């Protein structure tokens, strides 16, 4: 027995109180750690929900003919595997440029006017130069250009390849 404030207290009671205080302290630590971890994980997941990860679009190459089939200053139309029209023009001995035929302003189809050396959109009289940059009309006012499409020529075989989105999953 031990004496506390003039009263005798069994020593077993003192040890139980110190054990309980240790137990309470450890349980508070673990509960606090668990709550902080849970809220941190929730905030982390919420951040990825608000700012989603950008997915890389899968690309494939499709056959676009042979280089000798492209005459200087002319444009050929091809369709990708999703049905979108691609306009390919040859502007010098080896250089090819490819653009989507969709006008960035209203989504109308542009066409090539070889005598004027420009792409023309009939919906709003938008005009794009041979590099796809808007030079007149509403697209020029909005600083919009035709979407470029990657095109390459195999040096050895002179085969033209057009790089397009792999069909299946839509991208936004």
Q: What is the arithmetic mean of pLDDT over 93-103?
A: 83
Mean of all residue pLDDT scores within the chain: 83
In this structure, is residue 171 part of a structural domain?
A: no
Query: Could you report the per-residue pLDDT of 69-95, keeping only the tens digit for each?
Result: 888 878 888 888 888 899 998 877 558
Residue 103 has pLDDT above 70, yes or no: yes
Query: Could you report the per-residue pLDDT of 5-53, keeping only the tens digit for each?
Result: 666 555 555 555 556 788 888 889 999 999 999 999 998 888 888 887 7
DSSP per position, 43-65: HHHHHHHHSPPPPPPPEEEEEEE
Domains in the chain, number: 2
Q: What is the arithmetic mean of pLDDT over 148-163?
A: 90
What radius of gyration do the chain's Cα atoms show? 35
In this structure, is residue 170 part of a structural domain?
A: no
The CATH number linked to 158 is 2.102.10.10
Q: For residue 34, what are the domain limits?
A: 2-50
Domain end, chosen from 32, 50, 68, is at 50
Same domain assignment for residues 98 and 153: yes
Tokens 């890389």 belong to 56
88: CB partners within 8 A, 6+ apart: 64, 70, 75, 76, 77, 78, 96, 97, 98, 151, 160, 162
In this structure, is residue 65 part of a structural domain?
A: yes
**CA quadruple 8, 11, 15, 16: dihedral positive or negative?**
negative
Pairwise CA distance, residues 155 & 152, whole Å? 9
Q: State residue 64's pLDDT score.
A: 87
By DSSP bridging, strand 159-165 and strand 2-4 are unpaired
Same domain assignment for residues 38 and 66: no
Same domain assignment for residues 46 and 96: no
**How far does Cα 112 stand from its chain's mean position?**
30
Query: Could you report the per-residue pLDDT of 36-46, keeping only the tens digit for each?
Result: 999 999 988 88
Domain end, chosen from 11, 30, 50, is at 50
Same domain assignment for residues 40 and 65: no
Same domain assignment for residues 154 and 109: yes
Domain end, chosen from 30, 50, 70, is at 50
Residue 165 has pLDDT above 50, yes or no: yes
Output the six-digit token pair for 124. Answer: 């709003």
Confidence of residue 170 (pLDDT cuts 50, 70, 90): low
């Amino acid at each position: 027995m031990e004496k506390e404030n003039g009263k005798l207290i069994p020593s077993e009671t003192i040890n139980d109180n110190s054990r309980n205080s240790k137990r309470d302290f450890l349980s508070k630590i673990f509960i606090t750690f668990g709550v902080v971890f849970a809220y941190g994980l929730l905030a982390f997941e919420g951040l990825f929900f608000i700012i989603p990860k950008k997915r890389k679009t899968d690309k494939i190459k499709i056959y676009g003919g042979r280089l000798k089939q492209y005459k200087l200053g002319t444009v050929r139309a091809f369709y990708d595997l999703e049905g979108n029209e691609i306009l390919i023009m040859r502007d010098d001995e080896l250089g090819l440029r490819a653009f989507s035929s969709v006008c960035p302003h209203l989504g109308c189809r542009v066409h090539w006017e070889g005598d004027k050396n420009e792409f023309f959109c009939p919906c709003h009289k938008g005009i794009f130069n041979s590099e796809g940059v808007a030079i007149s009309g509403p697209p020029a006012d909005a600083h919009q250009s035709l979407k470029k499409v990657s095109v390459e020529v195999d040096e050895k075989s002179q085969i033209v390849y057009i790089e397009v989105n792999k069909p299946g999953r839509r991208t936004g």
